[in-house]
């Protein structure tokens, strides 16, 4: 399964960067974001995003 990961702006929460990754990469991305206090929005990727 693939997921769309959006990095959110610290001020207004709008997406500033989007990437599509496999399930194995989600944990690593979440750990890195947690270490620096970055906000993320993660959702299943649409087939059109592949």
17 φ/ψ angles, rounded to the nearest 5 degrees: -155, 135
What pTM was computed for the model?
Answer: 0.80
- Give me the pLDDT at residue 27, please: 95
d(CA 26, CA 20): 10
Q: Are 39 and 8 in contact (CB under 8 A)?
A: yes
Per-residue pLDDT tens for 1-50? Answer: 999 999 999 999 999 999 999 999 999 999 999 999 999 999 999 866 45
- Give me the pLDDT at residue 48, please: 63
- Give me the pLDDT at residue 47, please: 65
- Give me the pLDDT at residue 39, please: 96
């Amino acid at each position: 399964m693939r997921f769309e990961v959006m990095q959110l702006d610290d001020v207004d929460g709008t997406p500033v960067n989007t990437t599509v990754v496999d399930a194995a990469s989600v944990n690593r991305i979440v750990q890195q974001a947690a270490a620096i206090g970055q906000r993320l929005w993660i959702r299943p990727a649409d087939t059109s995003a592949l």
